[in-house]
Structure 1
Amino acid sequence: MKDGPPCSRCAERNLSCVLNKSLQTLIDERSQWKATVIQDIDRMHGALQQVLGKLSLPMLPPLLTGTQEHEASPHDYVVEKEEAGPSCDNSPRLSPRDDAVPHVPIESLYQITRLRALRADDPEEQKPVSSSNPDSSATDFISRGLVSIGDATRLVDFYFNRIDHYMYTVGRGKYHDFEHLRRGSPLLLACICTVAALHDPMSNHLYGVCKREFQRLMAASMFDRRVDRDHLRAMCIGAYWLHDISWTLSGYAIRRATEANLSSNYHRLLAKGGEDALDSIRIWYVLYICDHHLSILYGRPSIVREDGTISGWEHLLKVPGFTESDKRLVSQMALLSMMSNVRELFGPDTGEPVPQAFAPQLVNYSRQIDQWMGYWTTELLKLHQHLGEFPTKGVILHHHLAKLHLHSHVFRGLKGAPVPSYFQDSAAAAVSAATSTVEMLLSDRDIREGLVGIPHYLHSMIAFACVFLLKITVQHSGQYIDDEVVFDLTNKAVHQFRNTSVGKWHLVHMMAEGLEKLVASRTTNTAPSNGQPAVLATSQAQTSLGFHQSPHMAASLAAPNGFYEGDLLNTGFDDECGLGTSTFLSIQPGELDFDFFGFGL
């Protein structure tokens, strides 16, 4: 409203303008009425969706407006309010340390400012809060019609019965069915549905919807002062299985878990026991595992340090409530703790060969890995209700992969040059471990079935084993293993990946396509020198190995300037780096590209 006589008069006399007050009251009432109507419509829409779901009738389309996704229009009335400052504790309760000399600087700042955001929560007095509220199910992505209640129930059941056991049953927490999970934590529900849709071949149409909801809820909670265990649990699940966002989730989850002093539950557990403390330490240990998995995959330092809560896992074996799944959990921690020592020894890949002085350490670490396998194959002999013999066989698989990761360091910096004589045993051990990994995948039923459920770390390491062997055929052809054996194993691995019943966005399908390209490129460059076209030689080599081209593969090879045409050493398969292991997946966090030019060791 433009200036008029009343406003000018009031302004000259420093009086409040009655006209402006009336207009402001009208604006406030209209805004409140509008928000109430939208909320009422959302609730009616959600209730109707539930009724339709119970009757197995088609769902209504999502509302065009809603309390969750309504964006203010420039034409909406906006009431300017004074920006609120940081909140303070008006009546803070003194802690036992308030009268002592401060030893943590932030405590001193809190004592003089009473800024609530600076106050650390005492884990002894924290209640096991939930991220839910009484109306959470009325506004979740199911009530909004994005996912039907039938599909959501099926996904949750799929996760509980097929997937969660591979993360030591930490993901389900206190929830045992869909209804309790939905009422308890919308964020955990969205994450579980996302992981289940990734693994379920019948839920390709749900994966994108569920993942967007999970990321939306994660983004909305970014600046929440406190997060509960279900929130941390959801981030654990995402970091464990969602390879494209695992790096981001893992780092953020560790920071929030550290802020909540989650690791202090280790000492509470030893002193007093209790399911809450045990659940908290399980989450902390899964975060440790995710952190070290990513550290191995990306060749970067880990975040969680090796303190007493990590190295003292043996003390937990006698804690009441410690289960067989918990044994599997700490077995992984024991192995990753050893692998962190390997990482500290070799450091980042600088392109330089490994010094000869490291040879005794390689032998020592190799012996430790053997001892780890010997101990845990005995400890985990008990058959798992859902996984069968996988826990014991998983120990053997991890043993092969650890040996591969350890001994493959001797190829670092060589760039095709011969392996020094003092590292020949390690070179042979690396090739043997990679071969055993692929052979176990192809021959063992439990391991094959585990492709649906195991963390993306294991998929990545299996991919590393396959690509490592193909690189050996390029740089050390016939020296450690026959090239045809490598092609045959890789071809069978492609077939296995392609026939694994998972969603189309799952990592194994990407691995199948990428390995198919690598085998095709390698066989192209082994064409006989009898004037036969390279593409024809490739086709014959693939036929002799039982290798079948996909349509787009055949088109690429037949192109005049084919993607894989020419000398193998000029394609990028060998140029960028050698057989080092610190960044064997040539990817950045959030990306995983198995295309030929970008996939190097």
Structure 2
Amino acid sequence: MEPPNASDTSSPPLAKKRRTPKACASCRRSKLRCDEQRPCSRCLSTGNTCVYFERPKDPTVERFERIESALSGIQDRLDIHYGQPSPVATHSSISFDDDSLSSTRAVISRPVPPSSLSDFALREPSTTDLISSGLCSEQDARLWFVTFFQGCDRFVPVFDPSTDTFESVKARSSILFDIIVSYGCRAATGVLSRQYQMLYSLLRRHTSDLILRLSASQDRPPPLEDIQALMTIASYSDSGAVLADVALKAAIYTGLANGLDSLFASVLNTTGPDVPAPPKPLREARVWYGLFVLDHILSLDGGKPSSVYIQSSPRRVRALVSHQERTSTDLRLFAQVELNAIRLTARSSLTGRHVTDAVSPDSISRIVNGTLLDLQLWLSEWQAIEFGDASSTAEHPVLLLNLRIQHAWAILTLQLWALTASGVENIALMTDSQRDIALAAKSAAEQHLQLLLTNVPMQDNTTSMPYVANLRYAMEFVWAKNAFCILIVLRLGILLGDPPNSLIQRLTEAHQFLHELDKAGMGANISYMRILAQTVDKCERAVKASMRNEERNSAESSDTDFQSFIPKEFMFEWDFPGLNLCYIPFDWQDLFLDFGTTA
């Protein structure tokens, strides 16, 4: 038999089944979808009927519905347990897009608050002070609190001893209270004391507490006490630049600067002592200006970018001198506001950041001379303000001495900035005008050192060196500045070829400064004490080697050892100018002779 033909065995083609419309014509044209239970508005209005069928659900949608049902059951059980809407009920609500079930898009209906960390939690800052925690007796705490206000508050001038009392600070802020007591302990017992080392870990914890508190409190501004605490830690910390900017951010969020206009207006409109002053503006202005000064110190002398500027005249701060709540410490603060504004203007001009032309020798001379005039006016005018102040007779001599020391420091840094702007580091290659600037810097450094050792008559008919005696209370910058000043005065003396007798005089003054520190019981800040001792020791070896007329190589070795001495603290923690200066003589005849000998 013949196999059947393929055409005989194949089935005839099936007739194409015509699709039956499932929706009315109007719904098809408008591409709407409706069902029997929920007809669309067009069908309801026209009376049309659609052919309905049960559409199978998407498996993913069914899964989300089961999850939502399970969450609803958990919410009900938690509501019964807590007796009120549970956290899940208020924080987790999932809804689906009814317009397009096929997309299966879940929508979270509530925003996540900033403090919500899901499975994580922030550590709560401690609310107990060091007395309640048993870390310190009340007697010691009172002693160290008083010690802080005997000198530390002059270097962190954002407090008022008449209102920031032991009981008041303790009741308002346990963190600020602990910080004041801790740094009072540092001033009284020294950095290496057992008491301060025990409290140092508490300072680190409070630093973390303050930053965490600022991060978590997004709905309300931080209290003024937190800003004061951050400023105090920044003044005595190696991380001062970072903490100062954190405090500045908090101050901006709080709006401390917003009350300055009303404060100035209240001072100008005052017609008599009975006119009431605003309750807070001076306290807030004091903290804001303290932040301004700290930012400028860390910028001009610490190398960080300046974060805040004065756009109006800094002389306006003098209006607050007549404020009835102004303290003698406020005079220090207001004078520094004006001084640092002058210094910042000069530094910006010399580095060319705010001038269109290059910093030419003529420009340098003009900037330096103009700034010297501004600094002299600043000194004479603030001395007159201090002489006219009848509220701080006991501190008059010390305040006047501090003005002169700050003036000498401003001139020293100005001249060294000018040398840096001239682009010459080797004194052997300097022009006459550049050498004149170097000589002026040396003169300012010598004056600064002599002022540190100035004896001041006190009210009890005795004399003392108040500046050295008060260094136990000093902030980190002051220790670094004094170590640098002694280094630079000795360095410039050698580089500029001072005679041996003059160098011996400078060394004698440096030894006297170290001796006064020891006599005052300074165990504070061992690193900068070591820098001072090393500076004097290296310079003394270089000078004695030259005076004994030893072999040339030996003398040059001692001198080079001192010239190359740059403490790492000045390289990485501070930005003091002039440390790159050197003296490399070029004897061209000897150079050619060497070439000839080699040939």
**Aligning the two structures, in what range does the TM-score lie when normalised by the shorter sequence?**
0.5 to 0.7
Aligned mate of 1:198, from 174, 186, 192? 186
Aligned mate of 2:249, from 252, 255, 265? 255
Letter in 2 for 1:186: S
Counterpart CA distance in 2 for 1:566 and 1:83 is 79
Secondary structure, in 3 states, of the residue corresponding to 1:526? helix
Tell me what 1:427 maps to: 438
Tell me what 1:289 maps to: 293
Matched pairs, number: 447
Counterpart CA distance in 1 for 2:286 and 2:505 is 42
Tell me what 1:182 maps to: 170
Select between 470-479 and 222-231 the one with higher mean Cα deviation.
470-479
Aligned mate of 2:222, from 221, 224, 227? 227
Over 3 Å counting, the alpha-carbon distance change for 1:380 and 1:355 in structure 2 is same
Counterpart CA distance in 2 for 1:192 and 1:588 is 24
Letter in 2 for 1:193: V
**Could you list the per-position Cα deviations for residues 374-420 of structure 1 after superposition, in whole angstroms to 9, with x for gaps in the alignment?**
11111112473653511111111111111111112343243333432
Tell me what 1:496 maps to: 516
Distance apart, 1:307 and its partner CA: 2.8
Over 3 Å counting, the alpha-carbon distance change for 1:148 and 1:521 in structure 2 is farther
Tell me what 1:528 maps to: 548
Aligned mate of 1:212, from 187, 197, 201? 201
Q: State whether structure 2 residue 447 is matched by structure 1 residue 436.
A: yes
Tell me what 2:333 maps to: 329
Q: Structure 2: which 5+ runs fail to align?
A: 1-65, 93-109, 116-123, 267-276, 456-464, 582-599
Aligned mate of 2:149, from 157, 160, 163? 160
> Is the contact made by 1:197 and 1:503 (CA closer than 8 Å) also made in structure 2?
no
Tell me what 2:140 maps to: 151
Over 3 Å counting, the alpha-carbon distance change for 1:84 and 1:421 in structure 2 is farther
Cα RMSD for the two superposed structures: 4.4
Structure with larger Rg: 2
Over 3 Å counting, the alpha-carbon distance change for 1:411 and 1:363 in structure 2 is same
Counterpart CA distance in 2 for 1:395 and 1:372 is 9
Distance apart, 1:143 and its partner CA: 2.3
Counterpart CA distance in 2 for 1:85 and 1:259 is 28
Tell me what 2:425 maps to: 415
> Is the contact made by 1:198 and 1:505 (CA closer than 8 Å) also made in structure 2?
no
TM-score normalized with structure 1 length = 0.64
Letter in 1 for 2:427: A
Q: State whether structure 2 residue 391 is matched by structure 1 residue 396.
A: no
> Is the contact made by 1:464 and 1:584 (CA closer than 8 Å) also made in structure 2?
no
Counterpart CA distance in 2 for 1:309 and 1:212 is 42
Q: Structure 1: which 5+ runs fail to align?
A: 1-9, 29-80, 87-112, 119-131, 538-564, 578-582, 593-598
Letter in 2 for 1:393: L
Secondary structure, in 3 states, of the residue corresponding to 1:400? helix
> Is the contact made by 1:437 and 1:465 (CA closer than 8 Å) also made in structure 2?
yes
Distance apart, 1:353 and its partner CA: 9.4
**Could you list the per-position Cα deviations for residues 328-358 of structure 1 after superposition, in whole angstroms to 9, with x for gaps in the alignment?**
3211111111001111012289xx9974431
Tell me what 2:364 maps to: 358
TM-score normalized with structure 2 length = 0.64
Counterpart CA distance in 1 for 2:135 and 2:190 is 17
Letter in 1 for 2:521: S
Counterpart CA distance in 1 for 2:89 and 2:504 is 70
Distance apart, 1:157 and its partner CA: 1.5
Counterpart CA distance in 2 for 1:150 and 1:450 is 23
Tell me what 2:284 maps to: 280
Over 3 Å counting, the alpha-carbon distance change for 1:186 and 1:502 in structure 2 is farther
Tell me what 2:263 maps to: 269
Structure with higher RCO (Cα < 8 A, 6+ apart)? 1
Counterpart CA distance in 1 for 2:194 and 2:394 is 27
Counterpart CA distance in 2 for 1:197 and 1:440 is 28
Counterpart CA distance in 2 for 1:14 and 1:246 is 53
Letter in 1 for 2:320: L
> Is the contact made by 1:497 and 1:508 (CA closer than 8 Å) also made in structure 2?
no
Distance apart, 1:281 and its partner CA: 0.4
Letter in 2 for 1:403: I
Letter in 2 for 1:414: V
Counterpart CA distance in 2 for 1:379 and 1:481 is 40
**Could you list the per-position Cα deviations for residues 571-594 of structure 1 after superposition, in whole angstroms to 9, with x for gaps in the alignment?**
4843889xxxxx9932237x99xx
Q: Percent identity?
A: 17
